[in-house]
Structure formats: C-alpha cells, structure tokens
Chain A
C-alpha cells in the first residue's frame, strides 16, 4: 500500500472509532470531545484529498464553533437524569433511520463509480486555485442557489431569536 492509503485508513479508523465512542460513552462532555476528534480526522482526510480550504472550514465551523456551542449548552443544562425514558424512544427511531441511511449509502456505493478505485484518487491539478475556484463557484456560477441558501439561514436565525425572545 502507498503512504496516502495507509494514512487514509489510519485516519478513517480513528474517525469511525471516535464516532462510535460519541454514542457509547456515558458522559455527555466526553461524547462532545469524541465528536471533535471525529471532525478533526475528517478534516485531515480532506487535506489528504488536497481540499485544504474545506479542511480549514471543517475545523473552523464544526470543531471550533458548533461543538463549542454544544459544550456550552451541556454545561448550562444538567442532563444527568432527565432523559431516561426519552432516550429509549430516540434510540429506536434514530437506529432505524441510521440503518436506512447506511444501507442507502452502501447501495449507491456498490452500484456507482465510487466502487472503483476513484475513491482514493487525488485531484491531479495544483491546489493553488483551491480558494479561488470555490469562490468563483459560489459567487459567480451558482450565486442564486447560494443566496437562496443564505436567506434560508437568515430566516432560521430570525426565527430562533423570535422564539427565544417570547420566553420573557
């Protein structure tokens, strides 16, 4: 095996192991930390695929932002013993959903071009245009879908503020 393949399998197994530990560990804070580890390994896989921009954004947004907010909420709200019966329902529903999604992915994987060796192939061109090409795709070629998506986010944000404000 070549070096990139070895690195990929090491990273992927750490990511999977950490992902399992996210749902396995009894302590919510530990779960959040394993989630960060998963995100970091995924970011490292992006670097391996020469997608440095995506890797940096992955770390910045998911590992550096969203999980910090998770932790913030976990520390403010004590989750120790309130979730007992509800967790069982959640576990059933999410188990079924998760199995369906995994089955779907495996089905697509077995049929599509992903099943061939292209999974590990690295884009051959120099990655200098990484930042520029993403910028051009977002702000020139696909500017309308991009703006629609940002309006969706804006609506969600205003909605959250309105909901939070009504409590008083």
Chain B
C-alpha cells in the first residue's frame, strides 16, 4: 500500500474517530452545565456559580472530582461484571456516533478530502438500532452485579422499559425509510433535499412516536423509572462511584446527543438550512452570520440586565438587534463575509443548532413533567405508541401508493 492510500484508509478515519471521542466529553460536560443552568432558571433558583465566572468552570471541577474520587466496589458484588457494566454501556453509545453525518460536503485538509462523518453505510439505521439495543446490557449487568436490591429493581425496570420501547422506536423510523427509499443517513437527508420538505411534515406521527420512544430509551424524565431517586436511591447505578459512575453518565448524555442527531437527520433535514430549495433564503447558508450577532447581542443585553435589573428584557432586545444586524450582513454582504462560505461549516452549524434544540427539549421535559408510574409507562408504550407507529407505517404506504 502506498502512502496516499494508507493515509486515506487508516490515518484519516483514525483522526476522525479521535476527534469525535475527544470533543464529545467536553460537549457533554458543558451540556450538563447548560442543563443545570436551564433547570435553575425554570425552578427560579441560582444554578452553580461558584467555580469560575457564573459557574463556567463547574464541569471541569466535576470531572476532576469524579476522576480522583475513591472507586468503591461492594464486597459481595460480582467484581468482573461490576467493572464490565460501565464499559459495555459506553461502547455502544460511542459506536453509534460512527454513522452520524454532521454535514455532507467534505473538508479539505492538506490536500486530502475529509468527510464530516466517520462512515456512511447503507444499513446505518439498522446499525443504530442494533447498537443501541446493546446499551441495555450495561444497565442490567450493573444492577445485577451490584448485589443490591435497589440496583436490581432499577435494572429490571430498565430492561422491561427498554425492550418495550425498542418496538415503537423501530416502527417509527420505517416511514422515513419508505419515503427516502434508503437506510443510509446521507441518502435520507439528500432525499429530503430532493423532496423539498423536511420529513417531519409527512411523518409527524412517526416523529412523535420516535421522539417519545427515544426519550424512554435514554431513561430520561419523564421515563426515568430505572433511577427513580425517590424510590430506588439511584436505581441501577446506586453502588457506583468515581470513574465508573462517570462512564454511566457519559453514556447517558452521549445517547441523548445521538438521539437528538437521529431526530435531526431523519425528520429535520440534518445539515440542510431551513427551506433548502428556496433561492430567496440562500443567505441562510451562512447561518452563523445571523447566529453569532444574535448570541452576542443577547449576551450584552443579559449583562446589562444583570447590572440594571431589567428582568431579561434587554437580553431579548439585544438578541433581536443582533439578529437584525446579522441579517443585514448576511443578506447584503456588507462586510464581504458572505464570501467566506464553506459548505461543510454551514452544514455543521445548522446540524448543531438543530441538535441543540432537541437537547434543550430533553432539559425542558425534565423541568416540566412528573415521572410516569410503572403501569402508565407500559400502557403508553404498548397501547399507544406501538399501534400509532404501525398506523404510521400503513398511512405512509397508502400515501406513497396514491401519490406514486
């Protein structure tokens, strides 16, 4: 093998994987800070603000704490499985990221084409379902190996819940596969571009079924029965501490990101800008030109609010002013910045923005809904989601049959 081919087949994929695996923990650490901040805002209290300016270094402090904490193993536990459980939870979570396309257009680095995704396989959706169905082992084994009643109860609940909700999860994406005629993530987004519409419109039922089932699969509120703290202490990870606990944590948040990415790709056009075929909105291609002034304006307004006490009024005003400025820059190319267009950057921007929205939904749910009771959980899964998602498959089939 010559040098060129070696770099293309080995070095670049390795670099891509390394980039994803290295960036991810940082993203998750700050996602968690955002979660605490947003929850604090929703519950009208101050979120962490001791470490760093407004708590900005809190995630780093948390990570260091988890790393140096004592790693306890219960005396009567199954040591081998107790150690294996966090590992087999993290591996499927990270492996799912292998088929997530963050954008379509390749970057050019030192003359090599680098795709903004690790790989694109033609059974990507099935791969995701298969890999995510393995994540359940960590929960079951962790709960069983701990040799604690709370852990075992959490593990049993979790396995029943995850098996139940895997069925509507699988059915809900069939409609998208039927419309796109492919199970490859890149092909699905391209099909949405060709159709000129995000699949959330023809697949609204599929989207609801998928998102609800996916929230249940990730064991988040309102489906967090496996770790219901009022009844089970912490469910399957009651006995875990230190780095092992951190791995469970990492896996949970990675799964949230993966689910948000899948929703974005299947139903919300992935890396495409809104209305991808409307030429009048072409300036949205440079979405970050709008977004950066918006955030900057909002931030300045927020700072002024802190000083003057305007109750967040100035924050919204600043955001709107920033967005208007950004619109001018992007639309009429005032500073010549529109020439800076890099398709991959634009794709990654829109993709991240959409993913952030669904991550925010997760946090929003957590701040809003009470936990389901166990029988309600089972009734929702088996009596509502499964029939609805099957109905969606039949409806999509009829629609394709009629429209041709």
- The chain A residues found within 8 Å of chain B, CB to CB, are 27, 29-30, 33, 36, 52-53, 56-57, 59-60, 63-65, 68-69, 71-72, 75-76, 127-128, 130-131
Contacts and interface: CB of A to CB of B under 8 A. Distances in A.
B78 A60 contact: no
A56 B126 contact: yes
B127 A56 contact: yes
B379 interface: no
Given A29-B81, A75-B152, A76-B156, A130 B123 contact: yes
A132 to B, nearest CB: 9
A60 B133 contact: yes
A128 B136 contact: no
Majority SS of interface residues in chain A? helix
A75 B166 CA distance: 21
Contact of A59 (B81, B121, B131, B160): B131
Contacts of B233: none
Interface of B: 78, 80-81, 84, 121-123, 126-127, 129-131, 133-134, 136-137, 140-141, 144, 152, 155-156, 159-160, 162-163, 166, 183
Nearest to A132: B181
B133 A56 contact: no
Contacts of B155: 75
A65 B137 CA distance: 10
Contacts of B80: 30
Contacts of A53: 123, 126
Contacts of B144: 29, 71, 75
A65 B163 contact: yes
Contacts of B131: 59
Given A29-B78, A75-B156, A68 B136 contact: yes
A27 B144 CA distance: 12
With most chain B CB atoms within 10 A of its CB, the pick from A52, A60, A69 is A60
A27 B134 CA distance: 21
B81 A33 contact: yes
B165 to A, nearest CB: 13
With most chain A CB atoms within 10 A of its CB, the pick from B84, B131, B137, B152 is B137
Given A63-B134, A75-B152, A68 B140 contact: yes
Given A29-B144, A59-B131, A131-B183, A52 B136 contact: no
A80 B81 CA distance: 18
A64 B159 CA distance: 11
Contacts of B130: 56-57, 59-60, 63-64
A53 B127 CA distance: 9
28 contacts: A29-B81, A29-B144, A30-B80, A33-B84, A33-B141, A52-B121, A52-B126, A56-B129, A57-B126, A57-B130, A60-B129, A63-B130, A63-B133, A64-B134, A64-B136, A64-B166, A65-B163, A65-B166, A68-B136, A68-B162, A71-B159, A72-B163, A75-B152, A75-B155, A75-B156, A76-B156, A131-B123, A131-B183
A131 B144 CA distance: 37
A76 B122 CA distance: 39
A52 B123 contact: yes
Contacts of A59: 130-131, 133-134
A67 B251 CA distance: 21
A52 B133 CA distance: 17
Contacts of B159: 68, 71-72
Given A60-B133, A76-B156, A69 B126 contact: no
Given A29-B78, A72-B159, A64 B123 contact: no
Contacts of A63: 130, 133-134
5 tightest A-B contacts by CB?
A64-B133, A56-B126, A59-B130, A60-B130, A52-B123
A72 B160 contact: yes
A75 B155 CA distance: 10
Contact of A52 (B78, B122, B152): B122
A37 B136 CA distance: 15
A56 B123 contact: yes
Nearest to B80: A30
Contacts of A130: 122-123
With most chain A CB atoms within 10 A of its CB, the pick from B122, B166, B183 is B122
Contacts of B133: 59-60, 63-65, 68
A130 B127 CA distance: 14
Contacts of B183: 131
With most chain A CB atoms within 10 A of its CB, the pick from B78, B127, B130 is B130
Nearest to B129: A60
A6 B80 CA distance: 29
Nearest to A64: B133
Given A36-B137, A63-B133, A65-B133, A128 B163 contact: no
Given A33-B81, A65-B163, A60 B126 contact: yes
Given A56-B129, A71-B140, 8 more contacts: A33-B81, A59-B131, A64-B130, A65-B166, A68-B137, A72-B159, A72-B160, A127-B122
Contacts of B141: 29, 33
Contacts of B121: 52
A47 B156 CA distance: 32
A27 B84 CA distance: 16
